[in-house]
Structure 1
Amino acid sequence: MDFELSEEQELFRRTLRDYAEKEIMPVAPEWERTGRYPAEIVESFKEFGLYGLNVPEEYGGLEADRVSYALAFEEIARAWLGAAGLFGPHSVACWIVARNGTPEQKAHWLPRMATGEVRSGICLTEPGAGTDLQGIRTTAVRDGDHYVVSGAKTWITNARVAGMFPVLVKTGRADGGHEAMSVLLMDTSSPGFTVTRDLPKMGYKGPETSELVLDGVRVPVENLLGGVEGRGLQQVLGGLEIGRINIAARAVGVAQAAYDAALGYSREREAFGKPISDFQAIQLKLADMATEIQAARLLTYWAASRSQSGGGRVDMEAGMAKMYASETAIKCSLESMRIHGGYGYSAEFVVERLYRDAPLMAIGEGTNDVQRLVIARSLVSGKGRLGW
């Protein structure tokens, strides 16, 4: 049992941390405030190969191990959660294509996805279907050698910059269940694909999050993921499992940033002639934050390692990591704000942004209440096991 990172993993983390502290942290407050799109960060991510984290080496990707995958999101989110969103959903899309695509689909999309030439995300949620994906209403009707897709999607990250989206549709009856669901790899330049508006958000600024209308979009039959209808739900659920690991890692990064800010401020801020870090009330908060962050980090790396081992689905482990880490991020951002006092409520201090960003992780990739149900069902069925 080894709780240490390998030399390669430690070098990867240190490289990303140095970059994030020098290039992302200084610009994040102003770019977040003004809504400026972080195009320069996108180019840096391309150079680092972060768009190819989940792309096999044979297609030009990094094919990173899962712990390194988590490290990337932790370090970038520690600097700015919005920056992590630039390649977060994209990495899930890469995994879905690499895991389920036909050889032709992989060869066509993955090399360009690895370099960031083609960026992506996941196109699942609809105005009337979020947690209940079987309730989607977007349909794909076969018309010769094309599917004609009609429907609407919402909460789609990177919608304005993506070149391709895996889109969850009903290729069977619109009121059918999982057996009617498929994934189509949709070129966003197709006529009828329209981004209608960007959604205003409390936090998670940087990447756009949008609503889409799909009005008779024609998608070639060869773009049916895996070449077989009716496997869409299983394909996206596998992707969401990997997505929960990156959400957990992002939450650890936000929680760590909140702790860093609180510790630094408590050492500098004086009251009654001494730093407030000397007061027991502050020390207790710092101790709780540090302990819970480390527990969240270990849960996340554990889930990542289990995923890497190839022993099957890790719904329980990923659910535990995502649930606990996101709740820790929310708690730590609030505790950090309390340690900062009135300054924690000021947009001039980073903790105000962290407090707005943290709740997203408790919602994204399945709410935490859903994660609790997933965990419980794994335990009750005997599929989930604790320990190493």
Structure 2
Amino acid sequence: MVQRVLPTDEAADLLALVREIADEQLLPQVDEAEAAHRFPREVFTMLGRTGLLSLSYPEEQGGGGQPAEVYLQVVEEVARAWMSVAVGVSVHALTCFPLATFGTPEQQERWLPGMLSGEQLGAYCLSEPQAGSDVAAIRTRAVRDGDDYVLTGGKAWISHAGHADFYTTFARTSDQGGRGLSCFLVPADAEGLTFAEPERKMGLHSDTVGEVLFDEVRLEGSRLIGQQGQGMAIALAALDSGRLGIAAAATGLAQRALEVASAYAGEREQFGRPIAENQGLAFLIADMAAAVGSARATYLHGARLKDAGLPHTQEASIAKLVATDAAMKVTTDAVQVLGGYGYTTDFPVERFMREAKVTQIFEGTNQIQRLVISRQVLAQHR
């Protein structure tokens, strides 16, 4: 059991509820669902009705009113049971951010209740085949036609593609590079919106990812979120929150790998004693625990800065970098602890290792995080 310091008794009760849901409803089905590549829409509906998809948004908007410090620990607990679902929770929160933060009161009143109720699930359409880390290279275009916009282009690597109820989409409204992007809220039933076959990934098989295609999708002008040309600022602001979410999820994945490995080490006997009594292996588990603790500390530091209303771009990137590298190391070491069994699908650690790899890639690769961090640090000395 992870020892946590939480700000209120309500938060402690919430985390206890999430742990109960994770243990009783998520863990029993995760192995089968991942093996079958099944998208667990009913799980997201259940989490939404429980209020877990809108925790980080204010109560007056229909959210749970929880600080980031609490919300991210909820994400960690979900990831400890089912990484694909935790990624989906983080993605959904990301899709709501532009409307909740930059939308007009009229837009928020019209669309936000459904988005935050849990009855709807969102997708975040930013990346493109030629515009992953380089957001300014986005080619999907939105052309003004009277009071409407017409979107043409395609997005790549989109979680929930084909399953979402709305698509928070960034498109080019002018050729001014990063200043030429705008944000739109696209409904799933929009004419001309289609989806390619899901990507065949090495892990996170219950997190359906694919291309989202826009073939002259007509949107009413009221679906522009923020000002025209404000899309880059909106996307970057949202990514700070998204990176903290992925850091928390990666920490939960690493925590589960540590639990499985340490339990196995205490039970598995060689030469007449548990393998945990071998110092070489015990030190390996100690390093795994240190990596998990470090990851948790970095994302909580970023969360507390966010809750205090302080800049946290650098800390969000640090958390994403540290936590995802830790997840890769810890899950790899968990396979090592289990030896040959760890390399089989009879135990979950091989799945954990496959799931950890992509955390170093999405929400900005860890090379991009190093770029963000270095720029933030060096800017302080100019």
The TM-score range, normalised by the shorter chain, is over 0.9
Task: Establish whether residue 132 from structure 1 lines up as the match of residue 134 from structure 2.
Answer: yes
User: Following the alignment from structure 2 to structure 1, what is the Cα–Cα distance between the partners of residues 328 and 99?
Assistant: 32
Q: Report what 2:65 is aligned to.
A: 63
Task: Establish whether residue 377 from structure 1 lines up as the match of residue 375 from structure 2.
Answer: yes
User: Following the alignment from structure 1 to structure 2, what is the Cα–Cα distance between the partners of residues 261 and 134?
Assistant: 42
Alignment-mate amino acid for residue 4 of structure 1:
V
Say which SS state the counterpart of residue 151 (structure 2) adopts.
strand
- 5+ residue gaps, structure 1, are none
Pick the aligned partner of 1:366 from 351, 364, 367: 364
Deviation at residue 167 of structure 1 after TM alignment:
0.6
User: Following the alignment from structure 2 to structure 1, what is the Cα–Cα distance between the partners of residues 160 and 49?
Assistant: 19
Task: Establish whether residue 215 from structure 1 lines up as the match of residue 215 from structure 2.
Answer: yes
Matches within 5 A, 1:307-326: 307-311=306-310, 313-326=311-324
Q: Report what 1:115 is aligned to.
A: 117
When structure 1 is superposed on structure 2, of 301-310 and 85-94 the one drifting more is 85-94
Task: Establish whether residue 33 from structure 1 lines up as the match of residue 35 from structure 2.
Answer: yes
Q: Report what 2:6 is aligned to.
A: 5
Q: Report what 1:54 is aligned to.
A: 56
User: Following the alignment from structure 1 to structure 2, what is the Cα–Cα distance between the partners of residues 40 and 383?
Assistant: 51
Say which SS state the counterpart of residue 197 (structure 2) adopts.
strand
TM-score, normalising length: structure 1: 0.95
Q: Report what 2:261 is aligned to.
A: 262
Deviation at residue 92 of structure 1 after TM alignment:
0.7
Alignment-mate amino acid for residue 181 of structure 2:
M
- Structure 1 contact 56–98 (Cα < 8 Å) conserved: no
User: Following the alignment from structure 1 to structure 2, what is the Cα–Cα distance between the partners of residues 295 and 10?
Assistant: 22
Q: Report what 1:336 is aligned to.
A: 334
Q: Deviations over 1:252-301 (max 9, x none)?
A: 00110110011000011000000001110111001111111111101111
User: Following the alignment from structure 1 to structure 2, what is the Cα–Cα distance between the partners of residues 179 and 335?
Assistant: 44
Deviation at residue 41 of structure 1 after TM alignment:
1.5
User: Following the alignment from structure 2 to structure 1, what is the Cα–Cα distance between the partners of residues 11 and 369?
Assistant: 28
Q: Report what 1:236 is aligned to.
A: 235
User: Following the alignment from structure 1 to structure 2, what is the Cα–Cα distance between the partners of residues 199 and 171?
Assistant: 29
Alignment-mate amino acid for residue 293 of structure 1:
V
When structure 1 is superposed on structure 2, of 344-353 and 86-95 the one drifting more is 86-95
When structure 1 is superposed on structure 2, of 318-327 and 45-54 the one drifting more is 45-54
- Structure 1 contact 81–250 (Cα < 8 Å) conserved: yes
Cα 1:274–1:204 change in 2 (3 A) is: same
Matches within 5 A, 1:127-206: 127-173=129-175, 176-206=176-206
User: Following the alignment from structure 1 to structure 2, what is the Cα–Cα distance between the partners of residues 153 and 250?
Assistant: 24
User: Following the alignment from structure 2 to structure 1, what is the Cα–Cα distance between the partners of residues 164 and 5?
Assistant: 37
- Structure 2 contact 155–212 (Cα < 8 Å) conserved: yes
Query: What is the identity percentage for the equivalent residue pairs of Structure 1 and Structure 2?
Result: 37
- Structure 2 contact 301–315 (Cα < 8 Å) conserved: yes
Deviation at residue 11 of structure 1 after TM alignment:
2.0
User: Following the alignment from structure 1 to structure 2, what is the Cα–Cα distance between the partners of residues 61 and 155?
Assistant: 27
User: Following the alignment from structure 1 to structure 2, what is the Cα–Cα distance between the partners of residues 138 and 277?
Assistant: 54
Alignment-mate amino acid for residue 360 of structure 2:
A
Q: Deviations over 1:159-210 (max 9, x none)?
A: 222121111001112xx31111100111121111001221111111213111
Say which SS state the counterpart of residue 123 (structure 2) adopts.
coil
Say which SS state the counterpart of residue 170 (structure 2) adopts.
strand
Say which SS state the counterpart of residue 125 (structure 2) adopts.
coil
Deviation at residue 13 of structure 1 after TM alignment:
1.6
User: Following the alignment from structure 1 to structure 2, what is the Cα–Cα distance between the partners of residues 61 and 200?
Assistant: 34
Q: Deviations over 1:225-260 (max 9, x none)?
A: 02x211000001100100000000001001101100
Say which SS state the counterpart of residue 88 (structure 2) adopts.
coil
RMSD of aligned alpha carbons: 1.4
Deviation at residue 314 of structure 1 after TM alignment:
1.1
User: Following the alignment from structure 2 to structure 1, what is the Cα–Cα distance between the partners of residues 95 and 151?
Assistant: 19
Alignment-mate amino acid for residue 5 of structure 2:
E
Deviation at residue 383 of structure 1 after TM alignment:
8.7
Say which SS state the counterpart of residue 319 (structure 1) adopts.
helix
Pick the aligned partner of 1:348 from 337, 346, 353: 346
- Structure 1 contact 153–213 (Cα < 8 Å) conserved: yes
TM-score, normalising length: structure 2: 0.96
- Structure 1 contact 75–253 (Cα < 8 Å) conserved: yes
Moved over 3 A (4+): none
Count of aligned pairs: 378
Say which SS state the counterpart of residue 250 (structure 1) adopts.
helix
Q: Deviations over 1:63-94 (max 9, x none)?
A: 32101111111001111101113322110111
Q: Deviations over 1:106-141 (max 9, x none)?
A: 111110011122211210011111000100100111
Alignment-mate amino acid for residue 297 of structure 2:
L
User: Following the alignment from structure 1 to structure 2, what is the Cα–Cα distance between the partners of residues 225 and 172?
Assistant: 16
User: Following the alignment from structure 2 to structure 1, what is the Cα–Cα distance between the partners of residues 364 and 143?
Assistant: 28
- Structure 2 contact 95–123 (Cα < 8 Å) conserved: yes
